[in-house]
Copies of this chain bind each other. A is one copy, B any other.
């Protein structure tokens, strides 16, 4: 056999990691994709779906659907911009609460990893992943 496929390894690690974080922040009622999306929204709101897509490097249609899910949960609000085509996203109070409640859980998960792998390794990993 040749070298194991880095892509498969990466995808597998991504699933495991997502599962780990999902479990960690489950108490606040969202998954890691939603939590992460909300964090991005919190940083940049108000912003359009297209901008959000650019920030997260996700397809705009993906963003649209994902935002609708957390909108139905009452965590974000969707409105129209000056440009009537734009859908503008903002966090709701409930959404801010979820972010606040989730932050320590998220930090704890992060710290667990830091302890398990070492801060240095984590830093390395992050920089490698970014350079992909």
Contacts and interface: CB of A to CB of B under 8 A. Distances in A.
B121 A17 contact: no
Contacts of A3: 110, 126
A3 B130 CA distance: 13
B11 A125 contact: no
Interface residues of A, number: 42
A9 B123 CA distance: 12
B20 A107 contact: no
Given A117-B131, A125-B128, A128-B117, A10 B14 contact: yes
Interface of A: 2-18, 20-21, 32-33, 36, 39, 56-58, 106-107, 109-110, 113, 117, 121-122, 124-126, 128-132
